[in-house]
Amino acid sequence: MDSSIRTASRGRLAAVGGVALVLALVAGACGSSPSSTSTPTTTAPAATAPSTTAAPSTQQTTTTTTAKSAYPMTVKSTAGTAVIKARPTRIVSLSATATEDLFAIGAGSQVKAVDSYSDYPANAPRTRIDALDPNLEAVVNYKPDLVIVSDGPARFNAQLAKLHIPVVNEPAVANLTQAYGQLEQLGKLTGHLASADKVVADMKEKVHRLVGEVKKQNPPLTYYYELSTAPYYTVTSDTFVGSVFSLLGLHDIADQAGVHAAGGYPQISSESIVAARPDLIFLADTGNQGGQTPATVKKRPGWSQVPAVKTGDILALNPDIASRWSPRIVILMQDVVREVQKAER
Amino acid sequence: MTGVAGIECVDVHVVLDHHPIVNGVSVDVAPGTWTTVVGPNGAGKTTLVHAIAGLVDSTGEVRLGGRPIGAMHRRQRAQTIALVPQTPVIPPGMNVADYVSLGRTAHLSAWGGPKPGDRAVVADVVDRFDLTAFADRPVASLSGGERQRCVLARALAQQSPILVLDEPTTGLDLAHAQAVLDLIVETRRRLGVTVLSTMHDLTLAGSYADRLVLLAGGRVAAAGRPAEVLREDVLTRHYGGRIRVLDHEGTIVVVPAPPDGAP
Amino acid sequence: MTTGAVEKPAPAIADVVGLAGLPTSRLRPRALVLAACFTVACALVGLAVGPTPVPIGGIVESILGHLPLLGVHSHLSATQTAILWQIRAPEVVLGLLVGGMLALAGSAYQGVFRNPLADPYLLGVSAGAGLGATIVIVYGSVGAGSDPYVLPAVAFAGALIAVALTYLIARGGRGFGTASLLLAGVAIDALLGAIQSYVQQQAPGTINQAYYWLLGSLAGADWHDVWLIVPYCAIGTAVVLIHRRTLDVLSLGDLEAASLGVDVGRVRLTVIAGASLVAAAVVSVSGLIGFVGLIIPHAVRMAAGSSYRIVSPLSMFVGAGFLVLCDVIAGRVLAPQELPIGVVTAVIGAPFFIVILRTRRAGGAS
């Protein structure tokens, strides 16, 4: 089995190598354009110099890629060092965001299996593998030549490394810039860099337009973002979704406890929420993630005095989009901007 | 209060845990008299008196004051017969006054607390038994003799015409044992209660009871006045061992005989 | 005094000894008032303390403003009023109820089992409620999509079913004793606990939610939770308090209690039923809060005497105030994080429990 794959991939390698070289040159040109802030990885075409660029946020780990031709590629992430010998055609994605990214950049046909939480797009080859506790045998059964994880168990990564299966960690990001960086890295890994760049550019343009549609408020509108009830958990602006709201000029009531409280995901009491009088409420615990709706929020004891409840500015978010950092985040931003415009005085 | 009531038992059987303990005992205690049940260990003395007190299931007939025990409501039964158990449970921290007051339980209504009449009875009995000085001390802190007086006082606070005492002298030295038994004598004289007791010490049993019942293997082996029951042949047959019965100035004394060959 | 069968001794003795001196235990009015004041004070603390400052004067004013004919008007803002009456007050009232009922049930169980180390979870209330709650959390559609009162109802039913099962298992024959009940309780705890672990494994994503419920919490209480359990608390309280004298008699053991005319089996069943009813009711809305049922009756015993005429009523008041104080600590000590209240009661209760054990071993009569 292995030998036949190797033969096939060797046959393609020459063709791909040539294409990759061209793409790498193009990517290099794009990579040096001033508008893109650097992601943790930079590719120098035909150069072997590894380069690292510190991301604006220190949360993101540094990943380096070196390439002469595109392949073989060495990728360092917190999952270890992965050597990708050729363009991967049997990718297993154990990250819902990575799955969305891969399909968005056109690498969908190279994906052979995705985890149980990867429900978008609908035609992704979904399995019952649990991303939080992946079964090694089940994953190996797909004979992957690249496994993408997102802050999964370290032991699993070590086991894959022992089997010489390349695994790359695409961890949760802190802001849009890092999200763009992951898209581009996936583009590099899968040989769809041009496509990835197009997706990123598209996203940037939409974000720019949406930010422009929001009027600057003084004082800024405040919001409460709900992750769960009983007890109430929220996010500070130090998280990805929090950073998105900050872009739109919104102020997070959870920041009053300190932006770094509880790693960005602090617990908050009912009383604190009511006392903070948020203008907007965003619910991420909707549907089967908690079943909350604007109607249930209105019924909460003591919340009738909250401005967001009085004006009805409660928005139920798609909990999947809200917990990922894929291109679909733009949809969430669109909904939020609509709500903000409603609330603008 | 204490009228007069006797005990009649006809063919009482008690089976505990599939073991027959009491096997067809018929015993009568005339009202106002004192009957003591004696017998070797395991003869079923305690079980018999518990059955008479209605505290263990039995077949056969038990009548207290002429009324069958089965026809009595448990409160009525408690007002008719009071038990001083072999090993009384002393709740830690409970003082003498509270402990003796528990004797009034069968007389209290379900809703109310003790009435002045109840309190008076308790006060009287505490006074008679010289427990007033200890009234607010925990029962557990008293000496053996004082504790036994408390248990007796509680039983008397019940004001039942029948008093059952299971080994009332256990763990008491001679003087204290005598004191307790003298108290019972005094009570009987004053109130006319019927007394049924079990006892280990045959000499004491003979000195205080009007009638003795010798129980062996759950059956009545002998019954009658102390002089009739406390005889060497009777006792040796049922107790085994070497027993000598002496008559000292009218008092029957039962002693162990020395080993063979000794003077 | 006259000899012969006299019904009542001469009045002189009754006056002197019966009324003036015999030191029987009774619930002194002063002790009751003191306990009630403690409860009210704790309630006020619970209303006054929180992330948002609300002045005590404003609280008192607001309370008085609710009473008719006094003409007092509250000067609190709408937000403060909402926080006070919709968020803090239900939590305080629920805390009073839960604490009081747990302490009362604890005293009842200690009386029935003749053991001051008994607590209201001995016969399966906690195991049953925990299993019921876990089943709802794992299999039910939790969250406000479904009826939010499914969980308390199932937890309540689970608790009562567990106690009934314990009782049935313990019935070897007639007159089974406290030892069989205790052992049956251990068995039911183990069995239901195992089932609960299995059920929980079916949905590891809900472990957080289940864990949080199991540790107990009063946060998020609303008035509906309070009204939901009031009828059961009323019935159970009545049953336990009615039997407070009988619990003293039970301390003599089954044999002697029976000889005093008590129907030991029926009393045991009735008191356990009443105590389990209130324990199940409060556990169903507050989760499993431990140590209150164990240590409050003990503290009352040490301070005021060991008769259940004293311990049961006073435990209610002291337990109520105590739990409200624990709730305040749970909400403030790591603010804005809210500690599960079971952690606070354990931190306070465990050392107290150790002290109790040591004084008992040293021979203290308590």
CA distance A262 to chain C (A): 9
- Tokens 């929020």 belong to A297
Q: Between 1.10.3470.10, 3.40.50.150, 3.50.50.60, 3.40.640.10, what CATH number should domain C29-44+90-358 receive?
A: 1.10.3470.10
Residues A259 and A59: their CA atoms lie apart, in Å, by 14
Mutate to test the interface with B, among C254, C256, C301 (most CBs of B within 10 A): C256
Cβ of B97 within 8 Å of Cβ of C7? The answer is no
Pairing outcome for strands A314-316 and B19-29: unpaired
Taking the Cβ of residue C172 and every Cβ of chain B, the question of whether any pair is shorter than 8 Å is answered with no
- For residue B241, tell me if it sits in a domain: yes
Give pLDDT, residue A44: 35
- For residue B170, tell me if it sits in a domain: yes
- The partner residues of B95 in beta bridges, in order of sequence, read B138
Which residue of chain C is at minimal alpha-carbon distance from A304? C82
Q: Which residue has the higher pLDDT, A11 or B118?
A: B118
CA distance C284 to chain A (A): 15
Buried b (16+ CB within 10 A) or exposed e, B30-49: ebbbbbbbbbbeebbbbbbb
Say how many CA atoms lie within 13 Å of C14 toward its Cβ: 12
Cβ of C260 within 8 Å of Cβ of B53? The answer is no
Residues C281 and B216: their CA atoms lie apart, in Å, by 55
Give pLDDT, residue A70: 75
Taking the Cβ of residue C2 and every Cβ of chain A, the question of whether any pair is shorter than 8 Å is answered with no
Q: Which residue has the higher pLDDT, C172 or B214?
A: B214
Taking the Cβ of residue C24 and every Cβ of chain B, the question of whether any pair is shorter than 8 Å is answered with yes
Give pLDDT, residue C55: 86
DSSP 8-state class, residue A52: B
Give pLDDT, residue B261: 63
Q: pLDDT (tens digit, 9 = 90+) per residue, A131-162?
A: 988 999 999 999 999 999 999 888 899 899 88
Buried b (16+ CB within 10 A) or exposed e, C232-242: bbeebbebbbe
- Tokens 């017969």 belong to B81
Assess whether pLDDT exceeds 90 at residue A171.
Answer: yes
Average pLDDT, chain B: 91
Give pLDDT, residue A49: 39
**Quick one: which of A284, A233, A285 has its CA closest to A261?**
A233
DSSP 8-state class, residue B43: S
Q: pLDDT (tens digit, 9 = 90+) per residue, B54-78?
A: 999 999 999 999 999 999 999 999 9
Q: What is the DSSP string of C265-330?
A: HHHHHHHHHHHHHHHHHHHHHH----SHHHHHHHHHHHHH-S-HHHHHHHHHHHHHHHHHHHHHHH
As a dihedral over the C-alpha atoms of residue A114, residue A119, residue A125, residue A129, rounded to 10 degrees, the angle is 40
Residues C170 and C181: their CA atoms lie apart, in Å, by 5
| All chains having 3 or more CB pairs closer than 8 angstroms to chain C | A, B
Domain tally, chain B: 1
Asked if A320 contacts C173 with a C-beta cutoff of 8 angstroms, the reply is: no
Cβ of A271 within 8 Å of Cβ of C51? The answer is yes
Amino acid found at C263 = D
Taking the Cβ of residue C67 and every Cβ of chain B, the question of whether any pair is shorter than 8 Å is answered with no
Q: Which residues of B touch C256 (CB under 8 A)?
A: 83, 85, 88-89
Q: Which domain covers residue B29, as residue numbers?
A: 7-256
Residues B88 and A4: their CA atoms lie apart, in Å, by 90
Domains plus CATH for chain A?
2-205 (3.40.50.1980), 214-343 (3.40.50.1980)
**What are the helix and strand counts (H, E) for chain A?**
12, 11
Taking the Cβ of residue C143 and every Cβ of chain A, the question of whether any pair is shorter than 8 Å is answered with yes
Residue count (chain B): 263
**Quick one: which of C139, C148, C103, C6 has its CA closest to C312?**
C103
Across the beta sheet with B19-29, what order do the strands follow? Answer: B19-29, B7-16, B59-64, B67-68
Asked if B119 contacts C19 with a C-beta cutoff of 8 angstroms, the reply is: yes
CA distance B231 to chain C (A): 35
Across the 366 residues of chain C, what is the mean pLDDT of every consecutive 10-residue run?
42 43 85 96 92 85 84 82 89 96 96 90 94 89 62 93 93 71 92 94 81 86 90 96 94 94 93 95 93 93 90 96 95 79 91 81 47
Size of interface B-C (CB pairs under 8 A): 124
The percent of residues above 70 in pLDDT, for chain A, comes to 79
Assess whether pLDDT exceeds 60 at residue B258.
Answer: yes
Asked if A222 contacts A279 with a C-beta cutoff of 8 angstroms, the reply is: yes
Buried b (16+ CB within 10 A) or exposed e, A225-247: bbbbbbbbbbbbbbbbbbbbbbb
Q: Which residues of C touch A279 (CB under 8 A)?
A: none
CA distance from start to end of chain B: 55
Pick from A231, A291, A305: CB nearest C143: A291
As a dihedral over the C-alpha atoms of residue C298, residue C300, residue C302, residue C303, rounded to 10 degrees, the angle is 160
Question: Phi and psi at residue B84, in whole multiples of 5°?
Answer: -105, 105
Cβ of B126 within 8 Å of Cβ of C306? The answer is no
**Structure tokens that stand for C79 in this block:** 């937000």
Asked if C56 contacts C44 with a C-beta cutoff of 8 angstroms, the reply is: yes
Q: So what's the ipTM on this one?
A: 0.91
Helix segments in A32-104, DSSP class H: 96-104
B212: helix, coil or strand? strand
| All chains having 3 or more CB pairs closer than 8 angstroms to chain A | C
Cβ of B94 within 8 Å of Cβ of C307? The answer is yes
Strands, E assignment, A34-140: 65-66, 73-77, 80-84, 91-93, 111-114
Residue A11's pLDDT band (cuts 50, 70, 90): very low
- For residue B263, tell me if it sits in a domain: no
CATH number at residue B250: 3.40.50.300
Crossing angle of the two packed helices C341-361 and C308-332, in degrees rounded to 10: 140
- Give the helix/strand (H/E) hosting A192: none
Amino acid found at C341 = I
**Quick one: which of B205, B247, B219, B251 has its CA closest to B34?**
B205
Q: pLDDT (tens digit, 9 = 90+) per residue, B151-184?
A: 999 999 999 999 999 999 988 888 889 989 999 9
Buried b (16+ CB within 10 A) or exposed e, A109-138: ebbbbbbebbebeeebebbebbbeebeeee
Asked if A222 contacts A253 with a C-beta cutoff of 8 angstroms, the reply is: yes
**Structure tokens that stand for C235 in this block:** 């019935």
Pick from A272, A292, A305: CB nearest C144: A292
Assess whether pLDDT exceeds 50 at residue A194.
Answer: yes
Size of interface A-C (CB pairs under 8 A): 85
Average pLDDT, chain A: 81
Q: What is the CA radius of gyration of chain B?
A: 19
Give pLDDT, residue C6: 43
